């Protein structure tokens, strides 16, 4: 019988939620596409982005799972790399501007299929996503007995589901969100420090965990 550590899964879902809310090129692009060309266009981009996440999940699942089976020491090195990389991301966020820039320059109106492909390619061809998944997912393996590939796919599905809900909400509520961001300029600072907190907390968690 598989023993599942649900606290790890809840922590993973919560950290993914906060990271999805934090301003980045993907959700800002979804926001602007929805504002300029409509909700359907924004949702098409979201579907493309989430499909790309499935590709990254597969690469990490099969690659890292094989490493775990062959060398626990090498897997520890991967986890250490993950913690250090998350600390690096926290530093990058700390040094970045907290202001959320919304540029309402007209975006070309593409078909839904074209926008889906654009979102997909934006995600799949971004090496930073691969590195992030490699650093992030292995920290949240939640069962000693369940197949490692299955665990990575569970994490991937949670990541995709949470991100889809947040990104989809951004697409649907684009106008309202844009107005709120314009009126509440300090929200960017709050989201910035939340993101820093999540990166640092996860890094500390893996460094001091006994597993």
* Sequence ranges of the domains in the chain: 28-98+110-208
Sequence length of the chain is: 211
Let me know: does 151 contact 70? Beta carbons within 8 Å: no
- Predicted confidence at residue 210, as pLDDT, reads 59
- pTM listed for this prediction: 0.86
Let me know: does 190 contact 98? Beta carbons within 8 Å: no
- Predicted confidence at residue 157, as pLDDT, reads 97
Read off the DSSP letter of residue 96: S
Let me know: does 83 contact 207? Beta carbons within 8 Å: yes
Let me know: does 31 contact 42? Beta carbons within 8 Å: yes
Read off the DSSP letter of residue 98: -
pLDDT tens for each residue of 19-76: 898 878 888 889 888 888 889 999 999 999 999 999 999 989 998 888 877 787 887 8
CA-CA-CA-CA torsion sign (146, 63, 196, 16): negative
Mean pLDDT over residues 185-210, rounded? Answer: 82
Let me know: does 45 contact 119? Beta carbons within 8 Å: yes
Let me know: does 103 contact 28? Beta carbons within 8 Å: no
Let me know: does 21 contact 191? Beta carbons within 8 Å: yes
- Predicted confidence at residue 45, as pLDDT, reads 94
Residue 106 has pLDDT above 60, yes or no: no
Let me know: does 31 contact 174? Beta carbons within 8 Å: yes
Q: How confident is the model at residue 103 (pLDDT cuts 50, 70, 90)?
A: low
pLDDT tens for each residue of 108-166: 778 899 999 999 999 998 888 888 898 899 889 899 888 989 999 999 999 999 999 99
Residue 201 CA to residue 86 CA, distance in Å, equals 9
Q: Which two tokens stand for residue 82?
A: 């993950």
């Amino acid at each position: 019988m598989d023993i599942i550590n649900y606290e790890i899964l809840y922590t993973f879902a919560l950290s993914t939620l906060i990271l999805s809310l934090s301003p980045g090129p993907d959700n800002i692009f979804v926001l602007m596409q929805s504002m300029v060309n409509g909700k359907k266009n924004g949702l098409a981009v979201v579907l493309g982005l989430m499909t790309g996440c499935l590709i990254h999940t597969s690469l990490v699942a099969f690659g890292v799972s094989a490493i775990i089976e062959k060398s626990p020491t090498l897997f520890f090195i991967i986890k250490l790399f993950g913690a250090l990389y998350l600390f690096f991301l926290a530093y990058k966020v700390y040094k970045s501007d907290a202001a959320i820039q919304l540029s309402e320059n007209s975006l070309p109106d593409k078909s839904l299929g074209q926008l889906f492909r654009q979102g997909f390619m934006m995600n799949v061809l971004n090496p930073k996503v691969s590195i992030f998944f490699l650093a992030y997912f292995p920290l949240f393996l939640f069962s000693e007995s369940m197949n490692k590939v299955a665990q990575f796919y569970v994490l991937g599905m949670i990541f995709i589901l949470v991100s889809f809900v947040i990104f989809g909400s951004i697409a649907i509520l684009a106008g309202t969100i844009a107005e709120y961001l314009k009126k509440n300029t300090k929200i960017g600072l709050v989201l910035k420090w939340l993101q820093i907190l999540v990166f640092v907390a996860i890094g500390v968690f893996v460094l001091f965990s006994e597993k």
